[in-house]
């Protein structure tokens, strides 16, 4: 069997679903990462719902982005969006998801939370009882289709209006093939970004922890480093 090598051959050989009509909710959308993802997906033509514990804060964040973006409380966003991205601080991860279990049942939930600690030596990965933030989400949300993705996308680049394309591969992990295909396709809606399947959800801890290494790279080289996977 011939292995596709050119970009055109690879695109033809991959069945990428049409996700253009999907609405995207972002829990924790008032933070830089959430707002950055909201901005890029809105520019791609998606309806985006920014969620927060405070509907007023969410509405203010949505107004700062403009376009097809609106803000509401987390419960409303979780109930109304087709796909929900979790971009909340690690400290509130479990409690927030537990409070939204009903609203998130049956939905693709994309966890991009990185459990990290910081000390005088810099960032380091925290130990998570379930293995990773994504696995914790899967345990808390047994009725949802949990996918891990968008861990290494620079919020600075996402928010920068001078950056038209982002040079990055988004590693997508999960146990549901249709769900990971959908998230890969959503990643590709951001110019310059490509979604690449990265394995089962049980390996998400490696992806989350790698963020600490990227933070060290960025500090040393004053950069906004990302990842590219070769020969795929």
Provide the pLDDT for residue 145. 98
CA–CA separation, 78 and 129 (whole Å): 25
Higher-pLDDT residue of 14 and 39 is: 39
**Sheet with strand 83-86: strands edge to edge:** 69-73, 48-52, 24-27, 83-86, 108-111, 145-148, 168-174, 193-199
Buried b (16+ CB within 10 A) or exposed e, 11-22: eeeeeeeebeeb
Instruction: Read off the DSSP letter of residue 126.
Output: P
Q: Between 55-65 and 32-43, two packed helices, what is the crossing angle to 10 degrees?
A: 50
Provide the pLDDT for residue 96. 97
Provide the pLDDT for residue 14. 55
Q: What is the pLDDT of residues 39-55, one digit of tens each?
A: 999 999 999 999 999 99
Q: How confident is the model at residue 12 (pLDDT cuts 50, 70, 90)?
A: very low
Provide the pLDDT for residue 16. 83
Alpha carbon 145 to its chain centroid, in Å, reads 14
- What phi, psi does 151 have (nearest 5°)? -75, -30
Q: What is the pLDDT of residues 45-101, one digit of tens each?
A: 999 999 999 999 999 999 999 999 999 999 999 999 999 999 999 999 999 999 999
Indicate if the pLDDT at residue 9 is higher than 60. no
């Amino acid at each position: 069997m011939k292995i596709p090598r050119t970009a055109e051959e690879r695109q033809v050989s991959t069945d990428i679903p049409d996700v253009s009509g999907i609405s995207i909710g972002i829990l924790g959308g008032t933070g830089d990462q959430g707002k950055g993802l909201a901005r890029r997906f809105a520019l791609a033509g998606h309806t985006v719902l920014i969620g927060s514990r405070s509907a007023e804060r969410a509405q203010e964040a949505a107004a700062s982005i403009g376009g097809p973006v609106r803000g509401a409380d987390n419960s409303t966003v979780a109930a109304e969006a087709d796909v929900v991205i979790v971009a909340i601080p690690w400290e509130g991860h479990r409690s927030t998801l537990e409070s939204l279990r009903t609203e998130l049942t049956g939905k693709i939930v994309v966890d991009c939370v990185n459990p990290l600690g910081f000390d005088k030596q810099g960032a380091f990965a925290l130990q998570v009882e379930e293995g990773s933030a994504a696995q914790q989400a899967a345990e808390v949300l047994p009725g949802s289709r949990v996918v891990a993705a968008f861990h290494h996308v620079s919020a600075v680049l996402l928010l920068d209006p001078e950056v038209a394309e982002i040079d990055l591969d988004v590693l997508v992990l999960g146990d549901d093939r249709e769900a990971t295909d959908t998230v890969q396709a959503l990643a590709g809606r951001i110019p310059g970004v490509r979604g690449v399947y990265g394995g089962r959800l049980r390996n998400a801890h490696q992806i989350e922890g790698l963020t600490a290494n990227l933070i060290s790279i960025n500090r040393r080289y004053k950069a906004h480093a990302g990842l590219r996977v070769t020969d795929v």
